[in-house]
C-alpha cells in the first residue's frame, strides 16, 4: 500500500511539474504579408527557434499584401494584433507616428552594435537615435533576362547588356508585335508601380549626374537636367522604342514568368519564385551602367515589436527577433527566398559574391542607395502619375517631372512639419 501511495505521489508531482511548465509557456504572434517562399521559410525558422526555446510558442499569420496595412491599423491599436510584425522599411514613419511600434531597447539592440554589424542602409530604420525594426535580409536590383528569348533574337545569352545604350538595342531586338501592331512579347517590362520607380529614382537619376533628394532627405532635387534626362530615357523606351507597356500581361512578374517579357528589372527576392517556374532558363546581371556610373537601389523588410507587447511576451519577442537576425537565419533566407543577408559578414563571402544568381545582387549592394521614404505609397505614385501625364495627357517630360517633384515635396513637407 505504501509503495502504491509513493507511486501516486511521484505521478502527481510529475504531472504537476508538466502542468506548471505548460502553464508557463509563452505564446507570441508573428505577422507578415503572404508570399509563398517567405511563409515557408518563416515556418521553418519557427520550428528551429521553438526547438531551442521550448518555453516559447510562435504563432504565424499571413495576410494578402493589399490588405496588410488595413489589418494592422484595425488590430494593433486595440492590442489584438501581433507581437512581432514584418513591415516594409518605407512604412516605418507612418507606423511610428501611428504608435504601432515600440523602439527596440538599447540594452538588447544597441545602435552602435547594429551599425557595426549591419549594412549602413539599415540606418533607415533609425529615428531619433532609436531603431524600431531590423531586417533578416536586404534587397537590391538586377537585370533578369530570358536566355531562350535571347537565343531566338540572335543575342548571346551569356552577354547581357552592360550599358543603357546596349539595353535599348537589346530590348528593341527582343520586342515582338503582331501584324496589327499589338504587343506579343516585351523587350523589357515597363511597370513603374513595381520595381522600376526605384530604378528611375535611385539609379537613372544618379547615373545622369543628379541625386533624388538633399542630404537630409527633406528636399526633392530631381526637378533638374539630370532628372529630365533620366525620366526622358525611361519614357523613350515606351514612346520611341515601344519595347513594352505597363499593364502587359497584367504585371511585370506575370509577363516574365510567362516568357512574354525578355528582360525585367527586379529584386533578389524574385529568385525563389522564378526557380519554381518550369522550363524558364534565365540569367541575372548587374544593372547596366551609364557613362561608367554604377548605381543601385537597396531596400528591406524589417521586423519590429508592437507597442502593446509587454512582460514575458516582450522577452520572448526580443529572443525571436534576435534569432531572426542571426547569421543562421540570414543564410536560410538567402537560400529559400533569394533575399540577401543584412550583414556584410554574411553577404560578402566569396561563394555568395560569385554565385551566378545571387552574385549580381550582392555586388550591387556595394553601390546601392536606400531611399528614405516617409510615405512610400505616395512617393511611388508620383512616378506612375508622371508616366500617365506623358503618355495619356501629352505633357512633356519636364512638365511631368516638375509636377512629380511638386507633389512629392508636399508629402515631405507635411511629414517634416514641426520636426
Report the pLDDT value the prediction gives residue 43, as an integer from 0 to 100: 97
Residue 18 has a pLDDT of 45
Distance CA(174)–CA(248), nearest Å, equals 15
pTM check: above 0.85: no
- Give the model confidence (pLDDT) of 377-409 as tens digits: 999 999 999 999 999 999 999 999 999 999 999
Q: DSSP letters of 231-252?
A: HHHHHHHHHTS----TTTTSSH
The H or E element containing residue 283 is: strand 282-285
What are the grid coordinates assigned to 306, written together? 508592437
More confident: 155 or 299? 155
Work out the pLDDT band at 3, boundaries 50, 70, 90: low
Residues 147-155 have a mean pLDDT of 98
Return left, alpha or beta for 364; rule: phi > 0 is left, psi -120 to 50 is alpha, else beta: alpha
User: Which one-letter DSSP state was computed for residue 213?
Assistant: B
**Residue 286 backbone phi and psi in degrees, to 5:** -60, 155
Q: What CA–CA distance (Å, rounded) separates 382 from 223?
A: 13
pLDDT at position 17 is: 45
DSSP letters along 289-328, please? BBTTB--EEEE-EEEEEBTT--HHHHHHHHHHHHHHTSHH
Percentage of the chain exceeding pLDDT 70: 94
Distance, CA of 119 to CA of 133 (rounded, Å): 14
Digit-coded pLDDT (tens) for 278-335: 899 999 999 999 999 999 999 999 999 999 999 999 999 999 999 999 999 998 998 8
Q: What is the mean pLDDT of the chain?
A: 92
Give the domains, in start order, of the chain with CATH numbers: 27-138+299-369 (3.40.190.10), 140-297+375-416 (3.40.190.10)
C-alpha 62/C-alpha 86 separation (Å) is 10
Higher pLDDT, 13 or 406: 406
Pairing relation of β-strands 282-285 and 134-135?
unpaired
b/e burial code for range 104-120 (CB count within 10 A of at least 16 → b) = beeeebeeeebeebbbe
Q: Under DSSP, is residue 81 helix (H, G, I), strand (E, B) or coil?
A: coil
Residue 93: the pLDDT is 87
* pLDDT value at residue 186: 98
Residue 29: its pLDDT value, please? 97
CA gap 261, 283 in Å, rounded: 13
Least trusted range by pLDDT, from 76-80, 148-152, 177-181: 76-80
How far apart, in whole angstroms, are the C-alpha atoms of residue 415 and residue 252?
A: 31
Amino acid at each position: 500500500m505504501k509503495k502504491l501511495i509513493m507511486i501516486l505521489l511521484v505521478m502527481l508531482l510529475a504531472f504537476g511539474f508538466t502542468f506548471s511548465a505548460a502553464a508557463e509557456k509563452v505564446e507570441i504572434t508573428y505577422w507578415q504579408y503572404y508570399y509563398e517562399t517567405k511563409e515557408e521559410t518563416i515556418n521553418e525558422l519557427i520550428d528551429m527557434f521553438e526547438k531551442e526555446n521550448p518555453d516559447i510558442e510562435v504563432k504565424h499569420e499571413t495576410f494578402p499584401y493589399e490588405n496588410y496595412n488595413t489589418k494592422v491599423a484595425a488590430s494593433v491599436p486595440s492590442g489584438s494584433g501581433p507581437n512581432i510584425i514584418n513591415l516594409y522599411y518605407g512604412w516605418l514613419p507612418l507606423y511610428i507616428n501611428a504608435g504601432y511600434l515600440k523602439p527596440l531597447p538599447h540594452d538588447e539592440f544597441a545602435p552602435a552594435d547594429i551599425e557595426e554589424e549591419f549594412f549602413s542602409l539599415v540606418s533607415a530604420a533609425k529615428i531619433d537615435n532609436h531603431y524600431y525594426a531590423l531586417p533578416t535580409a536586404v534587397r537590391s536590383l538586377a537585370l533578369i533576362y530570358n536566355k531562350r528569348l535571347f537565343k531566338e533574337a540572335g543575342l548571346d545569352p551569356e552577354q547581357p547588356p552592360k550599358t543603357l545604350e546596349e539595353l535599348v538595342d537589346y530590348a528593341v531586338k527582343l520586342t515582338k508585335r503582331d501584324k496589327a501592331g499589338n504587343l506579343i512579347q516585351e523587350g523589357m517590362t515597363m511597370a513603374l508601380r513595381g520595381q522600376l520607380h526605384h530604378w528611375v529614382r535611385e539609379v537613372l537619376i544618379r547615373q545622369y549626374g543628379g541625386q533624388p533628394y538633399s542630404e537630409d532627405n527633406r528636399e526633392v532635387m530631381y526637378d533638374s537636367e539630370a532628372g529630365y534626362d533620366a525620366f526622358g530615357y525611361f519614357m523613350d523606351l515606351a514612346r520611341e522604342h515601344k519595347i513594352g507597356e505597363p499593364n502587359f500581361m497584367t504585371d511585370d512578374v506575370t509577363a516574365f514568368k510567362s516568357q512574354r517579357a525578355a528582360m525585367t528589372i527586379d529584386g533578389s527576392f524574385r529568385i525563389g519564385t522564378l526557380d519554381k517556374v518550369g522550363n524558364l532558363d534565365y540569367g541575372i546581371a548587374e544593372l547596366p551602367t551609364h557613362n561608367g556610373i554604377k548605381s543601385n537601389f537597396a531596400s528591406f523588410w524589417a521586423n519590429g515589436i508592437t507597442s502593446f507587447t509587454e512582460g514575458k511576451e516582450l522577452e520572448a519577442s526580443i529572443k525571436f527577433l534576435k534569432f531572426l537576425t542571426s547569421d543562421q537565419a540570414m543564410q536560410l533566407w538567402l537560400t529559400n527566398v533569394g533575399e540577401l543577408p543584412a550583414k556584410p559578414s554574411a553577404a560578402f563571402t566569396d561563394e555568395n559574391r560569385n554565385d551566378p544568381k545571387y552574385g549580381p545582387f550582392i555586388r550591387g549592394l556595394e553601390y546601392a542607395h536606400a531611399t528614405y521614404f516617409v510615405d512610400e505609397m505616395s512617393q511611388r505614385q508620383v512616378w506612375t502619375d508622371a508616366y500617365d501625364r506623358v503618355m495619356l495627357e501629352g505633357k512633356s517630360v519636364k512638365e511631368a517631372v516638375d509636377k512629380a517633384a511638386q507633389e512629392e515635396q508636399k508629402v515631405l513637407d507635411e511629414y517634416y512639419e514641426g520636426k
